[in-house]
Structure 1
Amino acid sequence: MNMKKLAVIFIIMMLLSVPVIFAKEGDYTVPSVVKDITVKEDGSTVIVEKIVYDIEGRVNGTYREIPLTGNQSVRNISVETPGYYNKLEIERNNSKVKLKVWLYNDAAKTEKTKDAKVEVIYKYTVRKGLKIYNDIAELQYMTWGNNWNTKVDHMESNIHLPAKKDEVEYWNNPETYVKSSEWTSPDTLTTKLDNIPAKTRFEQRLLMPKEYFDNATNAQRINMDAKDKIEQNQREYKERNDRAGLASTIFTSIVALLCLLPVGVYLKYGREVKIDYDAKYEYDIPSDESPLQVNAIMVGEVGDLDNDAISATILDLIDRKYYKIMLNDATSTIIRRTDKDISNLKGYEKSLVAYLDKYAEDGDISIGAFGRQSNRYDFRSFMFKWFKEAKKEEVQKPFVEKYFNNKGYKLFKILAVVFLLMIPISIACIFLKIIPTDIGEIFVYSILLFFFGAILLFVLPNTIAGRWTKEGKETHEKWKSFERYIKDYSLIEERPPASVQIWGRYLVYAAALGCADEVTRNMKKYYDSLSVSDDYFNDSSAVSFAYFNGLAHVESTIDSFSRTDSDSSSSGIGSAGSGGFGGGGGGTF
């Protein structure tokens, strides 16, 4: 199995499957939170929050935002930062109270905190948070708000009530992250949670006898019966949450399956067959494929042709004496058609001859003039038609299938379309409420995964998902061995081609392989070491053409033409999960 290909697939899919987070100065995490919520008989709620900030880099301090609704207020605010000095700044408006805690390492308060784990203890009292109805008292408290940009590893909530546990009915909204929720004393409910994601709220809702709050001047009094409605609301919330959990499970399962399918396709159709061939070098043309066929199976997508196919065809026509060289130096190259009959040429070769003839002057074709007289649109139009004709004649479907199994590549393209279709389907399901909006980050990451996954599957070459047949693998490896030979000057010195004519054929195939420049340099270096005369090259037009820069002129002209232009506040019964008070967010600044 080609482990390199498998590793590429695995790494790319892993990168697409997880969000990438870049750390910056002042980043923080919250390893732990301990909260004590004490409900007083006067209706006020005393809250103590011990929040540990693991700070990376230098910060001014931390902040805590406490939302307010209706006539709620926050009083008796204080802050402690064990091991650090602080300065508290309080900002108030009708919708929230913001506590800014400036942190310092020294008593003079000149040295800011850096790379530290700081416990900040917030203490405050909320008035009008408790609701008292005609039949029941309710504490609906947002223990953790959805305005935190980091997850919480561990959280403990201790709710202390004037009522006894047998008189209390309670719910955790949602139960998703709750590890335990139990009465640790007759009047204390302790709830422990793990791994609360960023931007995620957690609410606790408790019902208790209203008789404990006969003189509750700091509670909201609401003239209605609420117990049955709250219990019904909680049943509906649970049903919605269960449906959301099921939909989320189904959605994430589909996403996971779609992510695994490309790997499965690769494992079934992309793993290479084993062959006995292991030669590192081939010292002669290894098989009888034409230059265009070699280009189709060795360069880029299997079965496609690139610009090197045109260069190789021109050089091949010169090598086979259909053109003779009139002038060839560092600045210009001129060729002329010979009298050799072209009726036996293949269609794509005749098309290339006809195209070059358009730019002949008195029979002479100047590669430089051709580049100046032609235009990019005309050449691209010709290239499109020429590639189509050349593939039809030289790279037919049976030829490709003889060497390469393309089924995995086709399945990749189908999966790419499926990935793209999943984007509008998923968005439509959100709007139609088939998929709950509660899945939040999972949905966002899934959409990004579908988008980038589709692009990846579209652009991956067919050599990743497809695989060589046994004959194709052996042929491909032999041509790679031949390419290594002609690109290695030490081997050329050791085992040079037997004649200048053989050098000519090697150059034609080097052009098809896309390594003509390197092979031409090796040839020049070799012949320069022999101090041969210019007349020596007359026996091979291809060698003479390449040696005196003609091939470089052709490749430069084709490259310039094929380049793109861009290159050049009311009270009432709260809904479950909404939070009667509390929540908010915080962070560093």
Structure 2
Amino acid sequence: MKIKLKNVMPYITTLLLLFLYVKNVSAEVDYRIENNVTTASIKEDGSLAIKKQITYKFKSQSKGVFYQQNLTPTQSLVDAKVKIQNENQIGRYSHNFSLQKVNSGYHFTVYNHVKPNSRCTVTYFYKITQAITNYRDIAELNFMIIGDNWDKDLDHAKAVVLFPGPVKNIKAWAHGPLNGYLKIDKKKGKITMTASNLDGHVGIEVHTIFPLSVTSKNKNIVDRTHRAFVLKQEKKLSQETNRKRKKIFISEIWLVLIIVLSATSATVLGFTVKKQGGTVHNSNSIPHNYECPSVNAVVAQIMDKVDMPDIRAFTAYLMELAVKKKVLIEDYQKDGTTFYRITLKDMHLISQDPLLAALFNDIGNGQTVTTEEIKNSRGKKVSQKVNHCYIDWRIKSYNEVVNQGLLAEKLIHKRNTNQTIICSLLFLSFGGALIFFFKFSEFRIVMLVVETILLFFGINALVHSNNMISFYSQKGAEITNQIRGFKHMLEDIGSFEMRDVGDLVLWEDIMPYAVTFDLAKKVLKELKIEFTTDEWQQSDFYIHEPIYNFNSKGFYESFNNSLGSACSIGGTSGDFSSGTSGGFGGGSGGGAF
């Protein structure tokens, strides 16, 4: 069968585009620029001899790097050379580079294969003609010495302007990041500018005026005075920078106040809380209690967790009803799957419990309901009713415990309120510290230390506050300690003789608590080891075998899964100025490929 070209062209085009995309993605180079050290030496003819040394740290392999030097139309780049020094190698001059003149300047492409996880230093040497302008009264250099178009930020940047010798009347300004530093050494005829963590799109611009004698052979001459204009221009930029610095300083002060005061307030609030409510202990620190708690399994879970009961608690409730012969639980097979049928023996239950009523009347036939029917109700309208009834049952069960005075609602509210306030204050402090850390890099280490100390005391204050405010009344604390001692006993099943606790009749009463504490499998396993087969068959455990089957086919798992599905539950030195004075070289930068 012939295939027409026009029919397959869309597929070929798609594959080609996909190939180009994958190729482009795979070509991305992972690297950073550790250092950019640029030296510009001023010559008598008004040109600049540039030495630009850039150190790259590659995480992936690279085929080379590139750099573009932007210039004005009247300027030229000549005498270009490139030196390459790979890690653990001696530097060498390379001819394996290309230099192309583009609309905005000159573009270097340096071909040099670099292995992953290694460094490479590329040094560019070249000369820029007509870099300096001689006016009637001064000579001026206005140059973006480190460009503002890098693919990556620069970890460290240093720019140096060298004069032929000492120069008395130098004035210089640097424009770039506000955390940069400028130093003028008139005796050495040297201007030095440094900056750390330089944004790749900021750059460093140097603007300097000096005596005409320095560039006496310069042919780039403008017949007008210029000194007053430069001083006025830089004064304006300096004023703008000072306003920005003042604004930033005020922001820093406010941010520091927020960081310190919020964390301090949280600490004071936490440590000044007085002891309130009954004292409870963790289950592991309480001696074994071998007597069943004075409350049922649902209440026991609520008291232990101080939370609304879950499906395990409701399953335990059904097991208690089965033990009391108010419901009958039987297993049956269907298509190789084990399901369970729950039959009402006490019809008064559905009038007392809306959740049971929803299960038996709305999902079942009024007297029986199966785990299969409960599971299949998922997504149907009836499942929404069951879900609402389940939520209401949880809330009602919890509120009954509160109404009995076992849990102190006022203390719960107070503890939760304190916890919310303290956590909010600590988050506010931490958030402020993060902003400070990334925005004001010069004080990062100080802020890191301060915030660590503040959070240490704040978190300890939170723990202290929680320990001082109990959820329990005195009576509730006594019952909870009994419950946790009983839970501790169940957790340590196997380390003592279970017969000493009681016979199988007593253990039948204990099992719902094991279910609500998620310890049923462990307890049942030890019971079958401890008691003989005859004892087992003569007890109600044998009669209620389906209830106490805790494997993947057992009632516990089946009911949990089914109900869970239904419920969905300028100067000699100084700082940089911001902005730019319009120097050439803007847009210069580079990267790797």
Q: Return the TM-score normalized by structure 2.
A: 0.69
Instruction: State the Cα distance separating 1:485 from its structure 2 match.
Output: 4.1
Q: Deviations over 1:37-80 (max 9, x none)?
A: 12234332221122233444432223323234565443332111
CA separation of 1:119 and 1:342: change in aligned 2, threshold 3 A: closer
1:203–1:304 distance in 2 versus 1, CA, 3 Å: farther
Residue matched to 1:410: 420
| 1:60 is the counterpart of 2:67 | no
Q: Distance in 2 between matches of 1:525 and 1:164?
A: 97
1:201-252: CA deviation from partner (whole Å, max 9, x where unpaired): 3333212245655763457888866224223223223313312431452465
Contact preservation (8 Å) 1:28, 1:56: yes
Q: Which residue of 1 aligns with 2:503?
A: 499
What runs of 5+ residues in structure 2 fail to find an aligned partner? 1-26, 443-461, 570-576
What does residue range 455-534 of structure 1 map to in structure 2 within 5 Å? Answer: 466-467=466-467, 469=469, 482-483=486-487, 485-487=489-491, 490-491=494-495, 497-523=501-527, 530-532=533-535, 534=537
Residue matched to 1:383: 390
- Cα deviations across residues 381-437 of structure 1 (Å, max 9, x unaligned)? 322333233332234596444786323432267559979999xxx9xxxxxxxx9xx
Q: How many residues align?
A: 510
Counterpart in the other structure of 1:44 = 47
- In structure 2, the CA distance between the partners of 1:135 and 1:494, relative to structure 1 (3 Å rule), is farther
Select the residue among 190, 193, 199 that pairs with 1:188. 190
Larger deviation, residues 67-76 vs 554-563: 67-76
1:143 matched residue in structure 2: 145
Separation in structure 2 between the aligned mates of residue 258 and residue 306 of structure 1, nearest angstrom? 41
Contact 2:146 2:205 in 1 (8 A): yes
Question: Who is 1:232 aligned against?
Answer: 235
* Change beyond 3 A, Cα 1:351–1:44: same
Percent identity among equivalent residues? 18
CA positional deviation for 1:94? 1.8
- Equivalent AA in structure 1 for residue 300 of structure 2: V
* Whole-angstrom distance in 1 between the partners of 2:200 and 2:156: 13
**1:291 maps onto 2:297 in alignment:** yes
2:238 partner letter: R
Q: 1:92-115 CA deviation, whole Å, 9 max, x = no partner?
A: 4223533222225xxxxxxx4454
SS of the counterpart of 2:547? helix
**Any idea what SS the aligned residue of 1:295 has?**
helix
Q: 2:105 aligned with 1:99, yes or no?
A: no
1:331 to 335, 338, 362: 338
Q: Give me the whole-angstrom Cα distance separating, in 2, the residues matched to 1:318 and 1:75.
A: 97
Q: Secondary structure at the match of 2:127?
A: strand
Q: Distance in 2 between matches of 1:222 and 1:484?
A: 95
- In structure 2, distance between residues paired with 1:579 and 1:274: 72
CA 1:492/1:172 → structure 2, altered by over 3 Å: closer, same or farther? same
Letter in 2 for 1:44: S
Question: Does the 8 Å contact 1:357/1:365 carry over to 2?
Answer: yes
Moved more, 164-173 or 191-200: 191-200
Contact 1:103 1:113 in 2 (8 A): no
Alpha-carbon distance, 1:326 to partner: 5.2
Measure, in 1, the Cα distance between the counterparts of 2:224 and 2:387.
78
Q: Aligned AA for 2:298?
A: L
Structure 1 stretches of 5 or more lacking a match?
1-23, 105-111, 427-434, 443-461, 565-573
Query: 1:36, CA displacement in angstroms?
Result: 1.7
Matched residue, 1:160: 162
Map of 2:288 onto structure 1: 282
Question: 1:18: which partner in 2?
Answer: none
Q: Is the 8 A contact 1:269 1:467 kept in 2?
A: no
1:204 aligned partner: 206
Q: Give the C-alpha shift of residue 535 in structure 1.
A: 5.0
Alignment of 1:304 with 2:336, yes or no, is no
Aligned partner of 1:170 in structure 2 is 172
d(CA) in 1 for partners of 2:417, 2:280:
19
2:557 matches 1:552: yes
Q: Residues 317 and 220 (structure 1 numbering): CA distance in 2 closer, same or farther, change over 3 Å?
A: farther
Rounded Cα–Cα distance in structure 2 between residues aligned with 1:212 and 1:206 = 12
- Hey, what's the Cα distance between the residues in 1 that align with 2:177 and 2:376? 74
CA separation of 1:217/1:534 partners in 2, compared to 1, >3 Å: closer, same or farther? farther
Per-residue deviation, 1:199: 5.3
- SS of the residue aligned with 1:167? coil
Q: Is the 8 A contact 2:494 2:526 kept in 1?
A: no
Q: Which amino acid aligns with 2:161?
A: I
TM-superposed deviation, 1:151? 5.6
Alpha-carbon contact 1:88-1:100 (below 8 Å) kept:
yes
Contact 2:174 2:206 in 1 (8 A): yes
Aligned to 2:494, what secondary structure does the other structure show?
Answer: helix
Shift of 1:259: 8.8
Report which of the two structures shows the higher radius of gyration computed on alpha carbons. Answer: 2
Question: Could you tell me how far 1:289 is from its partner in structure 2?
Answer: 4.6
Structure 2 match to 1:19: none
CA distance in 1, matches of 2:403, 2:423: 21
Residue 275 and residue 331 in structure 1: after superposition, are their counterparts in 2 closer, same or farther (change >3 A)? closer
Alignment counterpart, residue 584 of structure 2, candidates 571, 581, 586: 581
- Classify 1:285/1:132 alpha carbon distance in 2 versus 1 (closer, same or farther; 3 Å): farther
1:371 alignment partner AA: K
8 Å CA contact retained: 2:182, 2:191: no
Shift of 1:116: 3.5
Structure 1 Cα separation of the partners of residues 304 and 515 of structure 2:
12
Q: What is the root-mean-square deviation of aligned Cα atoms in Å?
A: 4.8
Q: TM (normalized to structure 1)?
A: 0.69
